């Protein structure tokens, strides 16, 4: 929450007639933006909900796991972190 008197000591107070109109305009404009984002997301949600082919959609993340997928998963992990899988751990140094 903003307050008119919350200012640094070296900055003069903003007059009431200047502060509050800006404050209310900022507050209302933020509410309008939030409401418009809600309407946009609601429109997308309703479009998906009413789509007769919504259950036919399939993408790689939604495909069922097959038996040979564990081999391909290993390849993906190896590509993401090359060398980490086959590397030996660093030698342990015990303190004396």
Q: Would you write out the chain's pLDDT as a tens digit for each of its 96 residues? A: 777 777 778 888 888 898 899 999 999 999 999 999 999 999 999 999 999 998 888 887 887 777 766 666 656 555 555 555 555 666 777 775
Domain with 55, as residue range(s), is 16-80
pTM (2 decimals)? 0.52
Would residue 89 count as lying in a domain? no
Would residue 73 count as lying in a domain? yes
CA dihedral 33, 36, 40, 41 (to 10 degrees): 70
Count structural domains, the chain: 1
Would residue 32 count as lying in a domain? yes
Would residue 88 count as lying in a domain? no
Rounded Cα–Cα distance for residues 74 and 93 (Å): 31
pLDDT at 30: 97
């Amino acid at each position: 929450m903003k307050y008119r008197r919350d200012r640094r000591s070296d900055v003069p107070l903003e007059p009431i007639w200047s502060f509050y109109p800006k404050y209310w305009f900022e507050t209302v404009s933020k509410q309008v933006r939030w409401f418009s984002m809600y309407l946009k997301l609601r429109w997308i949600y309703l479009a998906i909900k009413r789509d007769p082919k919504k259950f036919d959609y399939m993408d790689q993340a939604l495909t069922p796991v097959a038996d040979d997928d564990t081999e391909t998963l290993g390849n993906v992990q190896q590509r993401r972190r090359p060398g980490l899988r086959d590397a030996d751990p660093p030698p342990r140094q015990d303190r004396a």
